[in-house]
């Protein structure tokens, strides 16, 4: 990964991403895929299935069956400025991306809001901005997830701790939203635990505040002294620093990502 200093003046595009979860003997596992190296969005990095919303998502959202609790689903996003069909389009996009990118068939009632990440104007890794809503979903027991060999070229199930450990060992690259999502999920022993946390609160909105210090890109999150919001909205380090060709917490240790210094 290479840090950029682009200032992106266009508004962020709505997007949705699905964090597929399953219970195993090793504990909670998440599904990660490696984006094709030629992709203009996080090429070569490990990500969760996801992408931009489109017009068809909005059309399908308007036509969802009447038996679904659409008002409750929209309210669960915690974004009162969105009209109901706009909120539902994010659920629809999440389901579509899971189907297109890894072949998993989900219903809109299967995906549950988890977090919201808004790319700052000073985007560190690309020249685009996204307003991405991350959803949790339980992997259906009768299905198998796999990369599409087009947009994604490899995929694996890993425990959050394993994914963070392998990232730390430079086995693969990840962007901060994926890193910090794994930090949150590493605290949970099971799918039900993670879903219970998501159901007990509205999705936090994270709009990182980047700055450069002595040639190092620093990305701050709510609760950090350099962030406009002084209260944390998620557990884990309140900043990441791009050092050693990866994003690291201030201590420069894997233990801080794994929660051994702040749990």
Domain membership of residue 230 (yes or no) is no
Phi, psi of 250 (to 5 degrees): -55, -35
Domain membership of residue 240 (yes or no) is no
C-alpha R_g of the chain: 18
For the sheet with 246-248, list strands across it. 209-213, 216-220, 239-243, 246-248
Q: What is the pLDDT of residue 57?
A: 97
Domain membership of residue 248 (yes or no) is no
Q: What is the pLDDT of residue 147?
A: 93
Contact by Cβ (8 Å): 8, 127: yes
Domain membership of residue 263 (yes or no) is no
Q: What is the pLDDT of residue 263?
A: 47
Domain that holds residue 77: 13-207
Q: What is the pLDDT of residue 103?
A: 96
CA distances from residue 213 to 119, 206, 226, 252 in whole angstroms, order as listed: 20, 21, 12, 16
Q: What is the pLDDT of residue 6?
A: 74
Domain membership of residue 39 (yes or no) is yes
Name the residue among 199, 169, 167 with its Cα closest to residue 183: 167
Domain membership of residue 212 (yes or no) is no
Q: What is the pLDDT of residue 120?
A: 86
3-state secondary structure of 188: coil
3-state helix, strand, coil in the chain (%, to 5): 25, 30, 45
Name the residue among 252, 228, 229, 232 with its Cα closest to residue 240: 252
Q: What is the pLDDT of residue 66?
A: 85
Angle at CA of residue 247, ends 242 and 251, nearest 5°: 90
* Encoded tokens for 101: 């990118």
3-state secondary structure of 22: strand
CB half-sphere exposure, 169, CA atoms < 13 A: 7
Residue spans of alpha helices (H) in the chain = 55-62, 70-75, 84-102, 160-168, 176-185, 191-200, 254-258
Contact by Cβ (8 Å): 223, 229: yes
Please report, for the domain that includes residue 22, its CATH number.
3.90.79.10
DSSP string, 193-226: HHHHHHHHSPPPEE--EEEEETTEEEEE-TTSTT
Phi, psi of 145 (to 5 degrees): -95, 140
How many helices (H) and strands (E) the chain has is answered by 7, 12
Q: Which residues pair with 29 in a beta bridge?
A: 22
Q: What is the pLDDT of residue 42?
A: 57
Number of domains in the chain: 1
Q: pLDDT tens per residue, the chain (263 residues)?
A: 666 777 778 899 999 999 999 999 999 999 999 988 766 555 688 999 999 999 999 999 999 998 899 999 999 999 999 999 999 999 999 999 999 999 999 999 999 999 999 998 777 666 788 999 999 999 999 999 999 888 888 999 999 999 999 999 999 999 999 999 999 999 999 999 999 999 999 999 999 999 999 989 999 999 999 999 999 999 999 999 999 989 999 999 999 999 875 44
Domain membership of residue 170 (yes or no) is yes
Domain membership of residue 218 (yes or no) is no
Q: Is the pTM of this model over 0.85?
A: yes
34, containing H or E segment:
strand 27-35
> Would you call 87 exposed, middle or buried from its count of C-beta atoms within 10 A (0-12, 13-18, 19+)?
buried
């Amino acid at each position: 990964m290479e840090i950029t200093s682009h200032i992106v003046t266009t508004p962020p595009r709505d997007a949705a991403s699905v964090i597929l979860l399953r219970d195993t003997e090793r504990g909670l596992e998440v599904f990660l895929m490696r984006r094709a190296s030629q992709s203009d969005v996080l090429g070569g990095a490990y990500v969760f299935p996801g992408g931009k919303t489109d017009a068809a998502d909005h059309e399908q959202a308007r036509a969802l069956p009447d038996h679904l609790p659409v008002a409750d689903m929209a309210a669960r996003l915690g974004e009162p400025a969105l009209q109901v069909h706009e909120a539902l389009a994010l659920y629809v996009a999440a389901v579509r991306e899971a189907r297109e990118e890894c072949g998993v068939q989900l219903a809109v009632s299967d995906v549950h809001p988890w977090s919201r990440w808004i790319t700052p104007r000073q985007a560190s890794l690309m020249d685009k901005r996204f307003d991405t809503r991350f959803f949790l979903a339980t992997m259906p027991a009768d299905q198998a997830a796999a990369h599409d060999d087009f947009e994604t070229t490899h995929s694996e199930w890993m425990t959050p701790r394993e994914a963070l450990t392998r990232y730390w060992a430079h086995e693969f690259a990840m962007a901060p939203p994926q890193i910090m999502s794994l930090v949150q999920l590493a605290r949970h022993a099971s799918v039900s635990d993670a879903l219970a946390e998501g159901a007990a609160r509205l999705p936090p909105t994270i709009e990182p505040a980047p700055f450069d210090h002595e040639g190092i890109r620093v990305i701050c999150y709510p609760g950090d002294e350099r962030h406009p919001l002084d209260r944390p909205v998620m557990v884990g380090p309140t900043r990441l620093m791009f050092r050693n060709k990866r994003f690291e917490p201030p201590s420069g240790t894997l233990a801080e990502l794994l929660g051994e210094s702040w749990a």
